[in-house]
Structure 1
Amino acid sequence: MNLIRLRKYWYILSLLIIVPGLITFFVKGLNYGIDFTGGSLIEVKFEKPAKIGEIRELLDELGLGEGSKIQSAAGNTVIIRTRDLTQEESDQLLASLEKNFGSLKLMRNEKVGPTIGKELRNKAILSLAIAFTLMIIYITVRFEFSFALAAIAALFHDILVTVGLVSIIGLEVDGAFIAALLTIVGYSINDTIVIFDRIRENLRILHKEPLEEIIHKSIIQTLARSINTVLTVVFTLLALIFFGGVTIRGFIITMLIGILSGAYSSIFNASPLWYDFRRLMTKTA
């Protein structure tokens, strides 16, 4: 079995994941958190379980029900997102929650204006654009431009898969989501560069063999390293999902999706894409 000859199947598998995610993204959108939309987020932990419906009724009584979101989490924890609250409104809400549902512990009480949220969104896009530009320059200098194109295409694959699945699942998108995306990009490009480096070495050593065979052998030679690396990261992320607490769970799940996608794209997409780009450039020249 030659991985390069089967590349169309790898592309189709990627599309089967990306297309539903894009449809959900454009129809449903992302579940933007307080960092992007602006407003108030209050996270409390009750001593006894509290029903979401009853909390919703309380918010309606206080005039905070419109546009608000209530999410239950492990350990009798409840996360409430509302419009931007004044300090007086925030204190009143906490007092009403304690009065109606018993003793509670305030875990978070955050506020961010819509202007700050918009600025954060723009900076996030700028950060990714700068990262991609620097990667293109670096890979072009170290290898060649076709390698850079393949690597960036694989990174776009990882971002589309991650954003699409996050949209489908409905995970909250906040500042930590941007940190996760940048981490995923860094992880994925590192794995891709390792394979590209082996391809470059084998192009000199095995120059008499067909190009698709050289690429296939290069992938196989680095496969154990790629699998071992991703498994150690995945095991750590799984442990954090189950034992790390609800506060970072969204960030960790996003990381898990991206790391798995990055491992897949580095092995099954980046090198096959380089093969196709190189053939296309050779025909054009």
Structure 2
Amino acid sequence: MSSNETTAEKPTTEWSDDDYVAAKNTSFFSRLYSGTGAFDVVGPRSRRRLYVISAVIMVICVLSMIFRGFTPGIDFEGGTQVSIPASDTVTTSSVSEAFTAALGHDPESVQKAGTGEAATIQVRTETLSHEDAAKLTEGLASTFKINQSDVSSSDVSSTWGAEITRKMVIALIVFLVAVFIYIAIRFDREMSAAALVSLLFDVVATAGVYSIVGWEVTPATVIGLLTILGFSVYDTVVVFDKVEENTRSVFASSRRTYSEQTNLAVNQTFMRSINTTVISVLPIIALIVIAVWMLGVGTLKDLALIQLVGVVVGTYSSIFLASPLLVTLKEMREDVKRHTAKVIARRERAAA
């Protein structure tokens, strides 16, 4: 490495008081792009605010899951799904009315899937007996003047949904344990604990959003949840890797505290996290617009929604929860306390 490269890299880990003052006087976007450490993310006041925000989000999500619950898809709850080709006369409202007229009660849900000639109206209801299924098929065919063979129905057992749920819980536990072990080996126990809390926040917050808005939970939702947890781990590891780099020799100098060096690391990864999030969100939005809105593919809608929510939540937790929590855990250690006191004492002597 040349001397010029060494000189260029040095300010990324060592900043004087004048450097920070100058950085804070620059524009918002300049500070964001340059990663000067001018944004206070892990300072005591900022940490308290972020903990309160995160706690409020968690409480709202947990209360929603307790009192509002979820809207399980037919794959989890079981039931009968009936499909009929859509047309100008076969709409969600007309099919719902025909269903009620045939069986004497309303269906659980009626929605349109697909576009053009492939469009269908899908009716979901509780499990129907053979007699009721035949009555419904005959009633729909008679009402819309179509062949009974054009009306298809299928039953899904709730046992299958229970098996999916059990496997999802097992996969989630295995994933969290594997992440905890990896980060504990790669970094240290405080980083591992902070990363695990961040992942738990992602699970609760994402699930809470689904509960609040009433989106239907399907197997695609489960797949999407496990996918976004992987994204969150990646983002957290990127931030923690920079933190480790900046704090590797923190005790050898009395210029900056562990908290300040961590704050600098977070600032230096801001743009990378933002770019990664934007790059991840854009194809998801494209998936929603093209596959869901234009083509009406219901399964892709479930997958896209969970990923969109999860990417945003994962970015928030890796920066604004995992990093502040890491500093809080580190400041409980005696060596970090002694070093912080030494830095403060040095500054007081310099100011006298």
Q: Do both proteins adopt the same fold according to a TM-score greater than 0.5, normalized to the shorter chain?
A: yes
One of 255, 258, 272 as aligned partner of 1:211: 258
1:47–1:103: 8 Å Cα contact kept in structure 2? Answer: no
Deviation of residue 251 (structure 1)?
A: 2.0
1:176 and 2:220 aligned: yes
2:78–2:156: 8 Å Cα contact kept in structure 1? Answer: yes
Map of 1:97 onto structure 2: 140
Map of 1:2 onto structure 2: 40
- Residue 172 of structure 2 aligns to a residue in which SS? helix
The amino acid that maps onto 2:178 is L
Separation in 2 of the partners of 1:91 and 1:243? 36
Deviation of residue 82 (structure 1)?
A: 1.4
Percent identity over paired residues: 30
Q: Which has the larger radius of gyration?
A: 2
The number of residue pairs the alignment matches comes to 284
Separation in 1 of the partners of 2:223 and 2:137? 31
Map of 1:157 onto structure 2: 201
Equivalences for 1:178-257 in 2 at 5 Å? 178-207=222-251, 208=253, 209-245=256-292, 246=296, 247=298, 248-257=300-309
User: What whole-Å deviation, never above 9, does each CA across 1:159-208 have from its counterpart, x for those lacking one?
Assistant: 11111111111111011111011001100001100111111111124443
Going from structure 1 to structure 2, the CA distance change for 1:151 and 1:119 (only over 3 Å counts) comes to same
Going from structure 1 to structure 2, the CA distance change for 1:58 and 1:132 (only over 3 Å counts) comes to same
Map of 1:267 onto structure 2: 319
The amino acid that maps onto 2:76 is F
TM-score (norm 1): 0.88
Map of 2:75 onto structure 1: 35
Greater displacement, 83-92 / 141-150: 83-92
Where structure 1 has 5 or more consecutive residues not aligned to the other structure, the ranges are: none
Deviation of residue 85 (structure 1)?
A: 4.0
Where structure 2 has 5 or more consecutive residues not aligned to the other structure, the ranges are: 1-38, 338-352
Greater displacement, 255-264 / 2-11: 2-11
Greater displacement, 65-74 / 219-228: 65-74
Map of 1:78 onto structure 2: 121
The amino acid that maps onto 1:217 is L
- Residue 331 of structure 2 aligns to a residue in which SS? helix
Instruction: Give the RMSD, CA atoms, in angstroms.
Output: 2.8
TM-score (norm 2): 0.72
2:112–2:120: 8 Å Cα contact kept in structure 1? Answer: yes
